[in-house]
Structure 1
Amino acid sequence: MSELRVVAPDGVPEVRPGDDLVALLLPLVELTDGDIVVVTSKVVSKAEGRLRTSTTAAELPGETLRVVARRGETTIVRNHLGLTMAAAGIDNSNVAAGSVVLLPEDPDASARAIRVAIQERTGNNVGVIITDTAGRAWREGQTDIAIGAAGVRVLEQFAGRTDSYGNELAVTAPAVADELASTAELAQGKLGGRPFAVVRGRADLVLPPRDDGPGAASVIRREGGDLFGYGAREAVVRALAGRAGDQRTFGSSASSGEVRAAFHVVAPDASVKAEGNGLHVSGIAPEVAAALAFAHGWQRVDDGMLRPLDSR
């Protein structure tokens, strides 16, 4: 029998800049080796002085690496942590009116500091996860995810193993840190004033002392590695604009076969012929050809000739 237990203690006071989070937690729970301590990013940010008397609109530019999509008042951005979130993760809930909380500057470092402090004060080897709430593409609602981690596996690797039917698993890698984050949130609640949780029953995910692991940053897809680096409208605009700084987000250069197929969808009567390591295109407006090439990681090098950027 497998059992997972989550405890989210009451009695946590309002967290203020400079507060010692471990000192607030330890009187409320009795930790043991193999526990996983889950802490909301809100209280980490408050303790680290990331509270601002400001608005989301005023703080958003400074927290934004690039805009992914806009719909009305909603702005989805990739922030400086590499996370793709609404409003860069800036939050105005559970704070005084007229204030907002920014995400921690380095959530993995924050998790490491909490882990070290717990070990020094209790002697227990625990994992630490820092969480925040995020939406999900194609699904309504939000769940908590791990934005910081120390001493805990963030992914379980099953590639190369076989299931009970003998099928080899090729790319299965459960995001266990995210699963633990959302599990803890069920006990914490959004309005319960319980920013800490302790998950017990997955000691196998806790790393040895002084091994903090790769952190939650390791599960963020690199820029250009995500198939959805722009929203649908934004992708059209960026491809038509063709600015060099936007190229990386579209990913590595597509194969010549993919490029030919795209041209035949947009302009079925266009001529697309292979020439060396490129393609010669005719029968399509140059501006359209340039936009299609840009979106596929190619470029127009002269009249009608396209080559993949990766071949430069």
Structure 2
Amino acid sequence: MTGTVSVTAPDGLPEVRPGDDLAALVAGALEGLAEGLADGDVVVVTSKVVSKSEGRVVQGTRDEALAGETDRVVARRGPTTIVRTHHGLVLAAAGIDASNVEQGSVVLLPRDPDASARGLREGLRRLTGRNVGVVVTDTAGRAWREGQTDIAIGAAGLLVAEDYAGRVDDHGNELAVTAPAVADEIAGLAELAQGKLGGRPVAVVRGRSDLVLAPDDDGPGARALVRPEGADLFGFGAREAVLRAVAGDPADRRVFGSPAPDDEMLAALRAAGAEGTPYDGGVVVTAGPSAEVLAVLAFAHGWVLDASAATDRLRLRPATP
């Protein structure tokens, strides 16, 4: 480790068409690099060229293609729809792109970006003899932040996140939860050299060969960076979370996560102007709002009204699968 990382985005990649050998096109574009491709490099490609080579260009508009690429809607604000895709990615318009494509067509994300990365890695090894990591990128916004940046939606042969938990810093402090998403950092770095309008969809990042895995190890892929349903604290937008809790659709329970512990449920009741005391397996509500309001509050915390309790007082208990 020298503390130096470099990125190069060459010109010269031709327009990619369905059925093209993307590995051959990328290898050809990289031949012009003065230093050539080296073991331990990370080759970064945009999802758009991957999708084009895989025939993921369809006729129509974003709105027409959106339903087929959506697992569920996360939030809507005016013309913007944020969805969770079938990959588990949370993106505006499911990552469907209408730029740099013939008018009347849109580009969908690759069906399996990790598989695309594995295929490209194998192709580059076959053509160049080099052991490289591969990252497939797409552009995404971030909660709490303006603007967009590129992230890794596919990866092969790369450690996608480092784990610093348990290590000690220079001051003797033990790190508890520190896991840099290095694949995303590589994606953002590459985009600085590629540019949005530069026509350079391929880049080579050099200086982090420690992240590149052995030739026979493709690693967990970028899928490892996707939080499972229920593990994300922001599974719905603010308005949508209220609406889904009021609707109480059992299918939405997975998005709200596992049942909150008793102390959190009691705190939520107090915040809503209710009072409750624990009992074996749940909470007895001694004062507070109506059963309808309590049902909404319970749903949002993974609880339900206990209809089986033979008492005049309302009882809540954690929902069971």
TM over 0.5: yes
Equivalent pair of 2:44/2:205 in contact (CA under 8 Å): yes
Q: CA deviation at 1:170?
A: 0.9
CA deviations over 1:115-174 (Å, ceiling 9, x no partner) = 111111111100000000000001100000000000011001111111111111111110
Q: Which residue of 1 aligns with 2:212?
A: 206
Separation of aligned partners in 2, 1:271 and 1:139: 37
Separation of aligned partners in 2, 1:257 and 1:93: 50
Q: Which residue of 1 aligns with 2:197?
A: 191
1:99 paired to 2:105: yes
Separation of aligned partners in 1, 2:13 and 2:267: 59
Matches within 5 A, 1:1-312: 1-29=2-30, 30-267=36-273, 270-281=274-285, 282-302=287-307, 304-310=314-320
Separation of aligned partners in 1, 2:19 and 2:146: 36
Counterpart AA for 1:16: R
Separation of aligned partners in 2, 1:132 and 1:51: 16
Separation of aligned partners in 2, 1:286 and 1:31: 66
Structure 1 residues without counterparts, runs of 5 or longer: none
Separation of aligned partners in 1, 2:49 and 2:88: 21
Separation of aligned partners in 1, 2:147 and 2:306: 46
Separation of aligned partners in 1, 2:60 and 2:238: 31
Counterpart AA for 1:18: G
Secondary structure at 1:27 match in 2: helix
Runs of 4+ in 1 over 3 A off after TM superposition: none
Separation of aligned partners in 1, 2:161 and 2:209: 14
Equivalent pair of 2:47/2:138 in contact (CA under 8 Å): yes
Q: CA deviation at 1:263?
A: 1.3
Separation of aligned partners in 1, 2:277 and 2:72: 36
CA deviations over 1:197-256 (Å, ceiling 9, x no partner) = 001111000000110000000110010000000000000000011010001111111111
Separation of aligned partners in 1, 2:169 and 2:290: 52
Counterpart AA for 2:290: A
Q: CA deviation at 1:293?
A: 0.3
Q: Which residue of 1 aligns with 2:33?
A: none
Quote the RMSD (CA, aligned, Å). 1.0
TM-score (norm 1): 0.97
Equivalent pair of 2:265/2:301 in contact (CA under 8 Å): yes
Percent of matched pairs sharing the same residue: 64
Counterpart AA for 2:109: L
TM-score (norm 2): 0.94
Secondary structure at 2:306 match in 1: strand
CA deviations over 1:29-62 (Å, ceiling 9, x no partner) = 2211011000000000000000011101011011
Separation of aligned partners in 2, 1:27 and 1:68: 41
Aligned length: 309
Separation of aligned partners in 2, 1:283 and 1:163: 49
Structure 2 residues without counterparts, runs of 5 or longer: 31-35, 308-312
Q: CA deviation at 1:93?
A: 1.0
